[in-house]
Structures are given as C-alpha cells and as structure tokens.
Structure 1
Amino acid sequence: MRRLATYLPVFEWGSQYTRQSFYNDGLAAVIVTVMLIPQSLAYAMLAGLPPVVGLYASILPLVAYAIFGTSRTLAVGPVAVVSLLTATAAGAVAPPGSERYIAAAIALATLSGLMLLAMGIFRLGFVANLLSHPVISGFITASGILIAASQLRHILGIDAGGHNLLELAASLGGNIGNTNVPTLLIGALATGFLFWSRSSLKPLLERIGLPTGAAAMLARTGPVLAIVVSILTVILLGLEERGVSVVGDIPQGLPNLSLPLFDAALWRDLLPAAFLISVIGFVESVSVAQTLAAKRRQSIRPDQELIGLGVSNLASAFSGGYPVTGGFARSVVNFDAGAETPAAGAFTAIGIALASLFLTPLLKHLPTAVLAATIIVAVLSLVDLGTLRRTLRYSPFDFAAMLGTILVTLAIGVEAGIITGVGLSLLLHLWRSARPHVAEIGQVPGTRHYRNILRHDVACSETVLSLRIDESLWFGNARAVEDIIQRAVAERPNLRHLVLNLVAVNSIDASALESLELIIHRLADQKIDLHLSEVKGPVMDRLARSALIDDLTGDIFLSHHEAMAKLAPEVTDSADRSQMPEIDASRPSPERPVRQTR
C-alpha cells in the first residue's frame, strides 16, 4: 500500500479519512464552489472561450488532482495568467470564437498535460528553476495590468482589442466615444462593490454580530451577489434592448468525454506556448502548495505535483476544457475554510457539476461587464509595483530582469515578456559568474578568522598573499581569476607565497583546472609558491585525479590559519599560536604537496 501511495497519494490520505475530515472538506468545498462558479465563467471569457468551458475545466481536473496530487489544500482550476496565455496562443492560430480556436485551447491542455506528466516521470521539476522569483513576480504584475486593461472594453461596452498595453490603449481610446452608458454603470458598480466586499464586508458583518467564520464565508459570496443582482437588473429593466451585452445561452449538462483533435500542424504551432503554460503553471501551483503546506507542517512532492497537474490538464482536455493549474486565491480560501484533504477538491467538482446541470439557464442574462469586473478585481490583487523598489534596493541585477520582464510584457506581449525575463536572468547570472569576487584576506587579531582587508582591521604579511575566491571556478571566469592573481602579484615585489582560500569553491571544471596549472607555472617562474587552503572534499577528490597535485609548488592546508602559521608566523597572533599543535617537522617541504580532504 505504501508503494502504491507513492504514485497515487489518494491511498495515503484516504486510509486516514474520518467523518470529521468529511465534514471539514465538505464545508470548504461549498465555499470554494461559490467562489469558483463566477471565476470559471470569467476566466473562460478572458481566454476567449465560451463561459461553459470554464465550468468544464473545473470538474474532472479537480477529481484528477485529488487522486494524483500531494497538496492537501491546493485548489486546481482555471486561473487568470494561464487564461491570458491561452488566449494569446490560441489567438495566434485561429480567430477567437471559432471551432479551431476552441480546438486550439483543448490542444494546449493536452500538450501541457503531456509535458507536465513527462517532466514528473523523468523528475525534471528543476526546469521551473529557470524562472527566478523576480521574473515570475514581474510577469504576474505585468500580466495583471494587461488583463485588467483588456477587460475595460467589457466595462465600457465597446469593441476593442490588442495583444499588448499599447495596442489596447490605442484601441480603447479610439472607441471610447461608443461607450454604452448602461453597461458602464453596471460594470463600474459591480467593480466598486467587489472591491468593497473584499476589504470591508467582513468587518461590517462582524460589527453587526456575526461570528468571524460566518462573516468571512458570507464576504466571499460577494461575486455571487453581484451576479444575482445584475441578472435581475437586466431582466427587470430590459437592458439587453439598450445594448447591454450578456452571456447568452449556456449549454446545460455535463461535458462530453472525447479525445482531443490531433492536428500535427496545430500541435507543432502550439508547442512553445504549451511549454510556457506548463512551466508557469507549475511554478505558480508549487509556490502556493508549499506555502500552505508549511503552515500546517506538511510537505509536498514537486515531482508528484507535476504528475498531478499533468493528469489534471489531460482530464480537462478530455472533457472539453482548457489548461488549468493551482490558483492562489482559491487555495487560500480552501485552506482558511478548513479543508483537510484533496477530497475537498473532488467535492467542489461535484458542486460545479451540479451548477452545470441546473444553474446554467439562470445565467443567460448575466452581463459580461460583471464577469469583467470579477476578473479586474481578482487580477489587480496580483499587481505589486512596490516589489520593484524593494528589489532595486537589494539587487540591481534582479531588478533589471524584473523591469525588463514587465516592460516587454506590457509593450510586446506575454510570451515575449516571459522569454525576456528568463533570458535576462540567465545572462545576468553568467555575467556575474564571469566576474568572480576575489578578496584579499588577513587575520583578525586575537582570532583564527580571516576576513577581507577592505572591511576589517586585519594583520597581513609582505611575503605571503592570501586570496579568497568566492565563486566556483569554470570556463567563464577562469581567465578573470588569472588576471586578478597576476595583478595582485605584480604589486608585491617581496612576495614569496600565494595562498588561495577555496572555502567558497564548490567545483572546478577542466578549463579552470588548466588555468590553475598555468598560474602555478607563472608563479614558479617568479619564484613564488602556490598553496591551497580549505579545499572542500568533493573538489579535492577531483583534483586528486589530475596532474595539478603533482605540479603544485606549495602545500594544501586543512585550514587557512594553519597555512599562515607555517608561512608567516611573524604576523599570527602569539597567544593564538601558542594554542596550536606543533607542526610536524617531518611534513613534506613546500616543494611537495600534502593531500588532505575536508
């Protein structure tokens, strides 16, 4: 059973399921269902799909994740950023609203599912590490602005569009004169109410005497209340005849199970976008899952999460849905509502299925402006421009990657933005790694510690130079290390020994090894011995398989203090030196190295 639970986590938590767990999961499912119904409809509209597709993507994927996922509280389903990516990718291969467009969205779910499943089987979750946190943060912030701007056309009741902020702004400005006043009133009131319900409805309910839990639950029904009131308003005032756009007929019933359309040319065109959706969805999902799991001292298995999300996306594709992942807001609500196991997701799927069977006829007169307001309120909570200032203060390099991601996403589009962010992150990492920090160090008086001479008052020797290399050595920075050492040696005419402190070096590649060999010979020509100190065990193991050990003109010391005590005893602290064990006179001379591991 334990081995089976490794691949099917449902057996792990299912074997410990209790009546109390059922009650807690059921209550959480009711709350999440109320929240998910309007979100599913809204995010499908954001993806350029019929609203019912959002409901389809919120049924079987939740059941699949409950079986294969490892997070106890992650709520899977349509999310804003993935919906935007879906709209961008599908819109590049087919006109929005066409049958081919819907087929493209389903194909994206299929490809994403297969990619995530393959990554999980082959344990390739590390691919997501290519997206640094500043890049993800910048992308989500820019996407939130872009999504909110794209929904303004529904709030205004005009025709407008565009793939980036510049196109959207130009299109909105050019059609602003065609604003439908009733639509604007509905959209503006719905947006204001949803913002107010998020921040002020719960405190108001608590002030009138409701318990905190009940107040929180009722506060989350704000979108449902906005939907009900707007539908009644449209019907009673006959606003459809005055140009207010509504959702229209929504097919009633459960999704039909079918195999996604296989179109080799279509799938080939969608592959890059499907990969981006897979990686971004996985990063967002795992970040939320790990955060919530830590609060309960639980854990998740990232590779199994890949499998869970992969199967969920395949389930969405087979039931006529589009790509899904774990949503931040829904997962937090699920967590706060007391969900104990992934069964809460399965119960939520039952609730969405019942809504698809019985409630869809009631949504015929739902104004699209209200769905747009739901999207705007949801995505603006993701926008965090303050992180730019915080990141700049801490790391200009990460700030450059974040700012580049935001600007390119807004100016060109989402795919170009995320590619730019990844590219900038990698280039800046390579640039920093190619410019290694090398510090001259000296002894802090009265201690055995050695620190940067530019930061501390330390003791040094004219005949011994100590340099600490603060990067692993590889072909990208080997030449820079050569140049730094050569300049430092040239400035010291009385130098006789150079000690390289390798405490921060985790690896030395073949190119760097050749550079060290060259440094040894150059220093030998100048009658300077090269010593190494504090070499890590794995690095020492590799050096032992090379010729460098035999060519080394100095020793390899276990600690830097030991090196200085032997090579420059006149500058080491006398009290500290008296506590050291005597150095064995039989040890090899500087011409022969001492092999040590650490």
Structure 2
Amino acid sequence: MLARYLPVLAWGRSYNRQTLVNDGVAAGIVTIMLIPQSLAYAMLAGLPPEVGLYASILPIIAYAIFGTSRTLAVGPVAVISLMTLAAAGSVAPPGSAEFIAAALVLAFLSGLMLVLMGVLKLGFLANLLSHPVVSGFITASGIIIATSQLKSILGVGASGEAMPELLATLWQNIGTTNLPTVAIGVGSLAFLFWVRKGLKPALMRLGVPARPADLTAKAGPIAAVVASTLAVIAFDLEERGVKVVGEIPQSLPPFTVPLFDPGLWQQLLVPALLLSVIGFVESVSVAQTLAAKRRQRIDPDQELIGLGAANIAASFSGGYPVTGGFARSVVNFDAGAETPAAGAMTAVGIAIAALFLTPLLASLPIATLAATIIVAVLSLVNFAAIRNVWRYSRADFAAMAATILVTLGFGVEPGVVAGVLLSLALLLWRTSRPHAAIVGRVPNTEHFRNVDRHDVITDPRIVTIRIDESLTYLNARWLEEHVLEVVADRPEVRHLILMGSAINAIDASALESLEAINHRLADAGIKLHLSEVKGPVMDRLRASRLLGDLTGRIFLSQDNAFAALVSSADDEGVEPRDDPWLARGLI
C-alpha cells in the first residue's frame, strides 16, 4: 500500500551502481539544458529569472518521490509559463511582489487540485480533452509565445496575451528597434536552428557516434549562452541598449508560504484548474510515450499525485507552476536515464548553479533567452497535424480550428475553455447520433454486414439494426425515432432485431426507450428481438421488466436469430416479396 503512493520504494529496491552511472550522465546533460530554459521560461511567465531555477529544484525531487514515470523531466515549460503570465497578470502587474505572490498561489492551488484528483482516481478526466483540441491549443500557444518573444529579439516594447494586441504593439514600437540586440537575437536564432537540424549530421560526418552527436546538439543552447554573454562583455553592449538578465541572487530556494487571501484564491481558482488540466494532459502524454518505448507503464492517477506534489513543493520554495516538459524528457530518455533519481540529480545540479554560477549569467542577453524560447516552442507548432485531422475528420478539424482561432484571438485561458467545451460538445454530438446500420448475412458465412457496403442476404420480412454505440439518455430519443423510421419505410417487416454486439451499456433512459419501442412495434404487428447482447448488459436487463414484456426472443448470435426468424416467417405463411439481395437458397 505504501509503495502504491510512494513509487520510489518500488524502483529504489533494484537501484544499483550501473543505474546510478546512467542516471548521473543523463542528469548532467539535462542540467546543462535546463539552466538557460529555466531562466527563459521564468521571464516568459513575467517572473524574475531566478524563480525558474527555484522551480527546477524541489519540484523535481517531489516528483521523483511520488511520480511513476522513469524518465519524465518536470520543471518550467513554455505553455504553463504563458498561462501563469495570463492568470497572475489578471490580478497584478508582471514582476511585482503581488504578481509573484499570485504565481505561488497558482502553484499551490494547482498542486492541491492535482493531488485531490489523484486520490479520487480522476485521471480519466484528461480524456475529456480530445487530442485534436489539445494539439490545436498547443500549436496556437506556441505561435503566441514565439510572437511574444519578438520584442526581445528586436529590443522593443510590446504587450498583450493574444495575437492582435501583440502584433499591434510590435508594429507601433518597430521604430525603436535596437540593432545590437537584433544582431544577438537573430544570430542566436540562426545558430540554434542550425544546431537543432545541422549539428548532429555534421558531427556524424566527422566520425562522432550518433548518440553523442545527438546529445551534443541538444546541449547547443549553452554555446549560444556563453558566446552571447562574452560578446556583451567584450563589446560593452549593455551600454548600447542590449538588455541583460542582470544580477541573480546566489542562493538556494527560499522557504515561501502561499498567501492565504480568500479573494485572491477565488480569482485564481478557475485559472488554476485550467492550468492543472493542461499541465497534466501534456505531462501524461509525454510520460506514456516514453514509457511505451521501454515497455514500462505509468499510473495516471499516481501521476496526478506526483505532479500535484511537485507544484505544492514549488509554492513553498519560491517557484511557480510546473509540469513534465517534452524536450527535456526526450533528452533525459535519450541520455539513458533509468529512474526518477536522474531528476533528483538534476535538481542538485540546478541547486549548485543557483549557488555558484549565477554571477556568470548577469551579462546574459535577454535576446538569447528569447531565441531559446522561440526555437523550443516552434517544435510544438504542428501544422502537419492540422492537415491530417482535416483529411480524417471534418468534425475534429472544426473543433481543432476553433480552438486555434480562439486561442490566437483572445488568449490562452479562453482557448483552454473553448477547447474543453468543444471536446465535450464533440463527444456529446457523436454519442447523441451514433452510427447505426441495417445488416444482412454475408453469403456462405455467419457474418452480418452493412447492406449499403456489401452484397448480403436479407429477407424483407426481417430487418436487423446494429447500433454501434452504448445506449444512453443522450441517444435514447434518437433510437426511438430511428427504429420507427426504419419500419415505416418497410411495410412488409414482421420482425425487427436489435443487434447488440457493439452496445456496452444501456442506461435507464435508453431502457425506457426500448420499452416504448417494444410496445409501439407490437401495436404495428412487429415483434422486437435482441441478439448478441453482452453479458454485463444482459445482467442489467434481467433486473428490468423489458425481458418479461418483450414480444420477441433473445438470441445468442445474429446468425441464429436470422435463421430462426426466416423459418418462423415461413411457418406463418408470410411470403417474402422480391428483394435484389435475397438469396433464399443460401440460408
């Protein structure tokens, strides 16, 4: 029971020297990558840069204790940083003491919600957000984040949470562009894009093995940080208007207590919930993908507790909301991390950097951090997914496109709300109008298929409807209308079979509809039969009066039902009319 809530007790039993070495190597590489990212994402969130370092220490350790993924790297991420800026910015100016206090409260509320959801085993709620909607939201957020960082690349002022405002303020201030800043920003962008795409092939051509070449390329941002910092110092670019990070306190994370202000908590409650849901969906998607590659598994409910513990730890250590990051997790995986201990070692590395290396970062240009963010978030922009969804499902594309447009036009919080509502609306719409097919028997087999897709054997006195969805209050009325419409178009029908092979549940509303269908068909001289009803569904039906009132029979298989009812209709002397699909000799 203890290991259920403390996964560290499970993987810790088999920890050995080789695992320690592998975790240590991965931790070193991720630490190098995480230092500039932590600074950049904190500034994206409107917070002092050291807050990014603080959010990368205790939260990682908390997740290592409570999380189930062996390779997920927890910390500040771009989308959550942008959502933090939007939420905390609604109650205080970015960078102010009140803003920082709001960020701590956001982390605390988010952590409490995640832990509560995990204890109540509500991990399945993440499934309410469809993948196209999540993909659309992340794509739109990536575009907004990249656009918001152009002000730092150009050295101009700009503000806004949505694209129209961002573009308008950028255009208004374009005349104040700082050329040295542009040189550093554009140079860093070009270098980082080349590192991402071209450094690995170049190293491999020089004889470097694939894995070291890949890991070296992923550590490329450190080279940009070092080169641009040296350029600022050597050419005294700060005096020429290049904005730098400035002094960063040399210290471990402070002990902080989230402000208990009922009014503030009420204002941040909904943003914290949205942030929790998006953070969990992003994190669990990465964790499941990486776990599958090693034939491991994660527990979504325990992941909620792990991420909740990480956010609570962030709120008590001067941080802000965190979640599992895609890029860092992939690097952690590729570098050979075997257990969450690699994350704990990364936290130690960040703590050492916070204590001893921050003076070296004082002259780091903000333009370089902006370039780091842009390169990182543009990997989230997936136009291919938009094209694929368009080809596959127009309904999913409509939900995806609406999420993108709302996010771009009005900001991340309206985008999240729109995404949730559209996902639910799409689910309800599909459930309320399930696919149903009239089926017939495939010649020389016992299989029954859609008459509109196959040449099958049918009998005009018998109609079989296969419902490809559970029957609930959402589609109960539709079921009545559909069945009555089918028999109205077929005056020769004497038997109607509901084929239940795809029905996994029937709720009380649908049961009442079935009873109504049974009585209405009886009034029309038609018997209602059921076939291939699943065991759990039959168990529920036995507790109802439907089976006692049923005018027809219940058949184990559709083939038995069809054969028996054809014979019954023959015995009743009801002659079939001409039917182009009828082949009586094969029955």
Same fold, judged at TM 0.5 (above) = yes
Q: Deviations over 1:484-504 (max 9, x none)?
A: 222221222222111111211
Q: CA–CA distance in 2 between the matches of 1:575 and 1:496? A: 21
Structure 2 Cα separation of the partners of residues 446 and 347 of structure 1: 66
- 1:593 aligned partner: none
TM-score between the two structures when normalised by the length of structure 2: 0.96
For structure 2, which runs of at least 5 residues remain unmatched after alignment? Answer: 571-575, 577-581
Deviation, 1:303, is 1.2
Query: Which among 498, 501, 510 is matched to residue 500 of structure 1?
Result: 498
CA 1:220/1:464 → structure 2, altered by over 3 Å: closer, same or farther? Answer: closer
Whether contact under 8 Å (2:399, 2:419) holds in the other structure is yes
**Is this contact kept in 2: 1:71–1:293, CA < 8 A?**
yes
Quote the residue 1:590 is aligned against.
none
Aligned to 1:49: 47
CA offsets 1:371-400 (integer angstroms, 9 cap, x no match): 000000000011001111101111111111
Q: Deviations over 1:199-252 (max 9, x none)?
A: 111221222233333323322231111111111111111111111111111111
Is 1:548 the equivalent of 2:546?
Answer: yes
Q: In structure 2, what is the equivalent of residue 585 of structure 1?
A: none
Q: 1:246 aligns with which of 228, 244, 251?
A: 244
Q: Distance in 1 between matches of 2:418 and 2:328?
A: 29
Q: Secondary structure at the match of 1:465?
A: strand
CA distance in structure 2 between the partners assigned to 1:140 and 1:222 by the alignment: 24
Displacement of 1:574 in angstroms is 7.6
Partner Cα separation in structure 2 for residue 213 and residue 545 of structure 1: 62
- Where 2:452 maps in the other structure, the secondary structure is coil
- Cα deviation for residue 259 of structure 1 reads 1.9
Matches within 5 A, 1:138-153: 138-153=136-151
Mapped to 2, the partners of 1:500 and 1:209 lie a distance apart of 67
Q: Are the counterparts in 2 of residues 446 and 575 from structure 1 also a CA contact under 8 Å? A: no
Q: For the aligned residues, what is the CA RMSD?
A: 1.5
Percent identity among equivalent residues? Answer: 65
- Specify the alignment match of 1:588 in structure 2: none
Matched positions, count: 575
Alignment deviations for residues 516-546 of structure 1 (CA, whole Å, 9 cap, x no partner): 2222222212211111111111211121111
> Which is worse superposed, 229-238 or 484-493?
484-493
Contact 2:122 2:301 in 1 (8 A): yes
In 1, distance between residues paired with 2:458 and 2:387? Answer: 40
Distance 2:487 2:129 in 1: 41
Amino acid at match of 1:532: L
Partners of 1:78 and 1:325 within 8 A in 2: yes
Q: Which residue of 1 aligns with 2:336?
A: 338
> Do the aligned partners of 2:45 and 2:81 also contact (CA within 8 Å) in 1?
yes
The one-letter code sitting in structure 2 at the alignment partner of 1:126 is F
Q: Tell me the alpha carbon deviations over residues 426-474 of structure 1, each in whole angstroms, 9 at most, x when there is no partner.
A: 1122122222322111111111111111111111112111111222222
Q: Work out the CA distance in 1 between the residues paired with 2:493 and 2:211.
A: 74
Tell me what 1:209 maps to: 207
Question: TM-score by structure 1 length?
Answer: 0.94
**Do the aligned residues in 2 keep the contact of 1:446 with 1:573 (CA within 8 Å)?**
no
What's the offset of the Cα at 1:353?
A: 0.6
C-alpha distance in 2 between matches for 1:463 and 1:6: 58
CA contact (8 A) 2:215 2:331 kept: no
Q: Which runs of 4+ in 1 moved over 6 A?
A: 570-576
Match of 1:430 among 425, 428, 433: 428
SS at match of 2:538: helix
Asked if 1 retains the 8 angstrom alpha-carbon contact of 2:461 and 2:493, the reply is yes
Distance in structure 1 (CA, Å) of the matches to 2:43 and 2:65 = 29
The structure 2 residue matched to 1:470, chosen from 468, 471, 474, is 468
User: Partner residue of 1:169?
Assistant: 167
* Among candidates 521, 525, 528, match of residue 526 of structure 2: 528
* Structure 1, unpaired ranges of 5+: 578-598
**1:9-68: per-residue Cα shift (whole Å, max 9, x none)?**
112111111111111111111100000000000000100000000000011111111111
Alignment of 1:370-385 (within 5 A): 370-385=368-383
The answer for the alignment partner of 1:326 in structure 2 is 324
Which amino acid in the other structure matches residue 407 of structure 1? L
The amino acid of 2:10's aligned partner reads: E
Shift of 1:165: 0.5
Asked if the contact 1:447/1:576 (under 8 Å) is kept, the reply is no
Residue aligning to 2:258: 260
Select 1:193's aligned residue among 183, 191, 194.
191
Deviation at 1:575, TM superposition (A): 8.3
8 A contact 1:448–1:576 mirrored in 2: no
- Between the aligned partners of 1:194 and 1:576, the Cα distance in structure 2 is 70
Task: Specify the code of the residue in structure 2 equivalent to 1:151.
Answer: Q
Amino acid at match of 1:239: L
Corresponding residue of 1:294: 292
